[in-house]
Amino acid sequence: MIAMVTGASSGIGYETALMLAKNGYNLIITGRRMINLEKLKFEIKNNFKVKVEILCFDIRKRQETEAVFNSLPDTWKQIDLLINNAGLAAGLDFIFDGDIDNWEQMIDTNVKGLLYISRLIMPIMIGRLKGQIINISSIAGKETYPKGNIYCASKHAVESITKAMRTELLPYGIKVSSVAPGMVETEFSIVRLGDQEKAKEVYKGFEPLTAKNIAETIEFLITRPQNVNINEIVIMPTAQANSTTTFKRI
């Protein structure tokens, strides 16, 4: 069995790759930071008897994405499980005040990048009449909160694309799900705010989700019997009711 995890160089993707290795999947791990991907490969190789292939590329770049994927040997292209995880939030500003470069980065990564990689892999799954795709959405794909605007829009798009994939891949026996977490402490807020200290403040006074919590949720999805598909899961920290209501003890 072969799984591809996009955005495996940190956070949810990193932990998901470890969980999949534990479940016996040979892995294609992707991201832009080669050093992190090498570290993950080393950790997997030290702990599990599975093969690991690194694909280092920027998912926003369509031609680069296609060329890197096409460079894989045919055996590696027979992907059973695709975890569309690579993504980010850039900035936290009102829409009337927003940084258009940030908007482009979020749309290009979270929406277009997810589509580029899926477009390469879906025909292979269709040809084999099997496969599973799990798209990492967010509570931001279910709700829209102030200053979340374009990030929320990009994750609403992920929700919509997930539903389209599930409908269109139905005749081919391919399972499609989305996982929509609330706040998970990863590099997410460091990337969003561009500042380690400000990022720490986001998780102060309550216990956020961990990347491992999300990997375990994905493990539940991939271990259901063949006749069962979980369409979507919303997973929140116990202290977070929705995108704007978090109970903090500070």
**Catalytically annotated residues:** 151, 155
- The footprint of ligand 8X3 (CB under 6 A) covers 138-140, 148, 182-183, 243
Q: How many CA atoms lie within 13 A of 94 on its CB side?
A: 2
For residue 44, the minimal CB distance to ligand NDP (Å) is 15
What residue ranges in 93-248 does DSSP mark as E strands?
131-136, 174-181, 232-235, 240-242, 245-246
Residues 35-64 that bind ligand NDP (CB under 6 A): 36, 58-60
Helix/strand/coil for 203: coil
Which is nearer to ligand NDP, 60 or 166 (by Cβ)? 60
Run of H or E including 52: strand 52-56
Buried b (16+ CB within 10 A) or exposed e, 10-36: bbbbbbbbbbbbeeebbbbbbbeeeeb
**Is residue 240 part of the contact set for ligand NDP (CB under 6 A)?**
no
Query: How many chain residues interact with ligand NDP (CB under 6 A)?
Result: 29
**Exactly one of 3, 11, 165, 236 binds ligand NDP (CB under 6 A); which one?**
11
Encoded tokens for 209: 């989700």
**Closest separation between CB of residue 165 and ligand NDP, Å?**
16
Q: Which does 11 bind (CB under 5 to 8 A by kind): ligand NDP, ligand 8X3, none?
A: ligand NDP
Nearest residue relative to ligand 8X3 (C-beta)? 138
